[in-house]
Amino acid sequence: MTKEQERGLVFLLCVGLLVGGGVLLWPVPQGGPTMWARPIAVADVVVVVPVFVEPKKIDVNAASAAELTELPGIGPVLAARILAYRAEHGPFRTLDGLTAVKGIGPSTVEGLREFAVAESGG
């Protein structure tokens, strides 16, 4: 870094501290409330905290083709095969039953366990 860049950086830091500190250290005029400086009451502050909810798993026995394609490793072709298998053979008893569908192996089923269930199966 050159001396000129160093000076510029120091200048920017000083300006930032002065402006930021000026807001905090600026004296409040005496004689009553003012429109520009109001204390913030903690009771009036709303904090939005994300709630980490476990996403709902897709039931392979009730899902449509579009829902099935949301699963990792399942595209439109495999979704159509799952629906065709389900129509011909009935619902899957477990996720492992998906291995009977052409193109779905044990590794694909393992990848689905976090996202899918076979709940409405027989």
Distances (CA, A) of 56 to 1, 17, 30, 67, 76: 53, 48, 58, 12, 21
CB 99 within 8 A of CB 107: no
**Residue type, position 90, single letter:** G
Q: Quick: pLDDT tens for 36-65.
A: 444 445 555 555 555 565 678 999 999 999
Query: What confidence tens digit (pLDDT) does each residue in 67-90 have?
Result: 999 999 999 999 999 999 999 999
The answer to whether 111 touches 72, Cβ cutoff 8 Å, is yes
CATH topology of domain 58-117: DNA polymerase; domain 1 (1.10.150)
Sequence spans of domains, the chain: 58-117
